[in-house]
Each structure stands twice: as C-alpha cells, then as structure tokens.
Structure 1
Amino acid sequence: MTRSERSADQVHSILSDRIVAGRLRPGDPLAESTLADEFGLSRTPIREALHRLASEGLVERGARRAFVVRRMSVTDLRDLFETLGEIEAICARLAAHRMTEIERDDLRRLLGQERIDYPLLNARFHDALRTGARNHLMSGLLEDLDRRSLPWRDASFRAQTRRVEQSRAEHLEILDAVLARDGELAARLMREHMASSLSAIAEMIRERPGPGERIVARPRSGAVPDLD
C-alpha cells in the first residue's frame, strides 16, 4: 500500500466517523482544498477518500459538483438493511447446506477468537457465510450493500458495548444453525440479526446531538424496524 493510499484510508475513516456520529451534518460542504489543509495532504488522497464516501452513500455531489454530506434518512437506512438482511439470510441458508466441514470448523474457531477487533471479526463472519453459500452473483450484490452499511454497523459497535455482546450472541446462534445444517433457521436468525443491527443504529442516531427522525425498533422481530 502506497503512502497516498494509506492517507486516503485515514481521511476516509475520520470523515466517515464524523458523518455517522453527526458531527458533520447533511448538506455540510466537503471542499477538497479545505480538507487538504486540515489533514496536511495533497488533494489526491482527499479526492480518493471523498469518492469512496460517495460509493458508500455518505456524501454526494452538490452545487457546482462539490461534495456535500448526504442526507441519510431513516427510510434510506431501513431500505438498506431490509435488502441486506434478505440477501444475507439467503446466504446463511445456502451456507448451512453447502459449507465444507473444513469451512464449518474454521467458522467455529473464528467465533472463538476474542482478541480480534470486533468490526473485523464481524466482517469475517459474514464473509465466511457468503463464501460458503457458493453463489458468486449474490456475493457480488453484497459488496455494494456492505460499502453502504458497514460505516453505520461499525459505528454502533464503537458507540455501544452491549451491541458487541448482543452481536456475538446472535452470531453463535447462527453458527449453531449452520452446523446443524438447518438452513431455514439460519436464514431466520440472520434476518433477526440484521434487524438488531438497524435497531442499534437507530438508537445511536437518537442519542447523538441535533434533530433527527425517529425509528421505532422491535428487536428480535425478524423484520426491520418501522418508521414512526
């Protein structure tokens, strides 16, 4: 990885955190020159970071093609996690039947590791199920959904310790279903897992400063929370 790539990663991470935490509000400008001065970098890594944020749906082009923080409504989040939950559920169901014994053992050992940064462990768990599903088209569809959802999911892990413990427990339930080759149960648990993720994000949004829309959460319902 080049120095420019490392710099772009750092800028992307910092700006992503600011947007999700509400420190940068919808419509706030993200001028390349201003950011370059703030981070002491050239415009190249700044531009790369902004394009990555745009691919995740966190920023968009505003007036005169300049980047601004995108308004991510609760409806947008609901639609995102509803779609993500359904595709992840299909992957879990297929993985329960298609994973090899070696892959099942690797998945079991993965969840036994506690020293791995949890957002990374979470990503590896979901990646293992997608690989085990043996469906390249579905895996490709999830790449875009991951780019759009992971900043919010990772932020909820950092903001709420209890969400990490809840997520670990949900992963173990899904693991048991996969090991038992119970595809329907694995799919249902995955839908509930993604609904819980959205509930945690909704709570995080309600707790952050500034006005916001409200999501009424129904944890463990198996469906994404409704709007109020």
Structure 2
Amino acid sequence: MKSKPPSRPDGVLPETRQNQFENLASPALLQEQVYRQITEKLITGELRPGDQLVLRQLSTAMGTSPMPVRDALQRLAAQGVLVGKRTLCVPTLSPRELADIRDIRQTLEGLAVVRAVKQADSEGLATLSSHYRQMEAAARNNDLHHFLKANAHFHLHIVRMAESPVLTGIIEPLWLRLGPAIKLSEQEQRQLHLTLPIHRRILDAFNARDVRAAEQALREDILDSFASLPGNFSSLE
C-alpha cells in the first residue's frame, strides 16, 4: 500500500519557513537560493505531480518578494520541469516519458561517470564519499527526505566531476522531473539500506579508478531505481 502524504493548499511549499532569505544582500544570490530550495522540493518528491506553484502564495510562504520566485519558476519552466501557462504546475509523467528519462540517464550518466573516474581528484572523491555517508545515515534513520536528497547529490556530483557544462545542463533537469514521480511504499521506505551496496560499489570503483566497474554499477543502479516507479516499462522495451 502506498503511503499518502498529508494534503496542503496548492502553491504552498511544504516545510518552508518565512524570512530565511532576509540576510541575503545580493539579488543574484537570492535568486539562486530560491531556485535551489524549489529544486530540492522537486528532487525529494515533496512537490508532487499536479501540484500548482502559485507565485504570490510561494513568495509569501518563502518570506521573499515575488521577483526571485518568478525567476526561479521561469527557469524551471524553460527547462521543461514545470508546465502550464498562467499557473505553472508539476507535470504527471507517462510511462513512456519515464522510460525515456531512464534510457537517457543511462546513456548520459554513463558517459559522465567514465569521464569523472578518469579525472577525479582527491577533493572530488572526498565529496562523493561524504554524500554516500549521508545516504548511510539517512537509511539508518529511515529518513526518506534526506536519503533522496543525498542520493541526488551523489549522482549529480558525479556528473559535475565530468566537468562538462553541457552534460550537467541536460542531466540536472531530468532529476528535477523525476523526483515528483517517486512513490515508495512504507515497506520500501524501511528498506532504503538495500540500495547502499550498489552505491558503495560506485564509490569503491572511483577510488580504484576502475572505469568499467563504475559505469556498470551506475547503470545497474539506474535500472533498479526505476523498479519502484509507476508504469509498465516492459511493454515499452
């Protein structure tokens, strides 16, 4: 049985505290912080398919003016993450769209991991290890929110280590589109630790500079991660 999150008014970000941006002097920094907060809600599935993002309600909930919120929403709409005309909303992805995201991620993240392993430095490896430890801690506590956040940071850090702005610009929006589609049952949430070994394999392959092992483990992880998503992928093969 799928767990049902509590209902909330459309356009209101969950767990958003007001006035958290009041000390940010730079408009550019403020815009980026607002954008990052909304993208975190997408990646962790706190924003769900069909949720409307109403500008005035969002800016009030986030304790900031409408301008940086409008900029963030327009940026996400340009990436195809949000859809709509007068009011933007989180789209509901079809099985075909989910299968496309899976296949594109396998291809592009597979390319990214090959490049990343070859040129990873000690700082990049330390950051990747830190993201993995955050996944471990979240799994021990059955903390789905922080697990999904750490998992996304783990994978997107690999993409950034490839040092290709083009790859990063294509892959990041795929993660933002995918997050709201994640619906884990209560039993699956209690078994987050089962996904750790394959991420450990990826991390170990990086430390060993084993390109083939890293790519294989990452591709397996992507396939496994889609098993819990809605839709019949077998008919689309």
Q: TM-score with structure 1 length normalisation? A: 0.63
Post-superposition shift, 1:111? Answer: 2.0
Where in structure 1 are there 5+ consecutive unaligned residues?
A: 203-213, 217-224
2:220 aligns with 192
Aligned pair count reads: 198
Percent identity for Structure 1 against Structure 2 = 23
Give 2:162's aligned residue: 133
1:2 is the counterpart of 2:21: yes
2:200 to 169, 172, 189: 172
Secondary structure in 1 matching 2:83: strand
CA distance in 1, matches of 2:46, 2:123: 37
Are residue 151 (structure 1) and residue 180 (structure 2) matched? yes
The letter of the residue matching 1:61 is G
What is the aligned counterpart of 1:201 among 204, 212, 229? 229
Deviations 1:139-188 (A, max 9, x none): 222222222223335x5498832562233222111112222212122112
The secondary structure found in structure 2 opposite 1:215 is coil
Q: 1:58 to 1:125 in 2, by over 3 A?
A: closer
Offset at 1:127? Answer: 2.9
The match for 1:92 is: 113
Q: 1:163 to 1:86 in 2, by over 3 A?
A: farther
Secondary structure of the corresponding residue to residue 60 of structure 1: coil
Task: Return the alpha-carbon distance in structure 2 between the equivalents of residues 146 and 195 of structure 1.
Answer: 14
Partners of 2:100 and 2:186 lie apart in 1 by: 23
Question: Which structure 2 segments of 5+ residues have no match?
Answer: 1-19, 23-29, 139-145
Summarize the Cα distance change of 1:58–1:99 in structure 2 as closer, same or farther, 3 Å threshold.
closer
Q: Is the Cα contact below 8 Å between 1:55 and 1:148 reproduced in 2?
A: no
- How many Å apart are 1:74 and its aligned residue? 0.6
Give the Cα–Cα distance (whole angstroms) in 1 for the partners of residues 89 and 132 of structure 2.
39
Aligned partners of 2:105 and 2:202: how far apart in 1? 16
3-state secondary structure, aligned to 1:189: helix
User: What is the CA–CA distance in structure 1 between the aligned matches of 2:122 and 2:89, rounded to whole Å?
Assistant: 48
Distance change (3 Å), C-alpha of 1:109 and 1:80: closer
8 Å CA contact 1:87, 1:138 repeated in 2: yes
Which SS does the other structure have where 1:181 is aligned? coil
- Using the alignment, how far apart are the partners of 2:69 and 2:123 within structure 1? 42
In structure 2, distance between residues paired with 1:135 and 1:19: 30
Query: SS where residue 77 of structure 1 aligns?
Result: helix
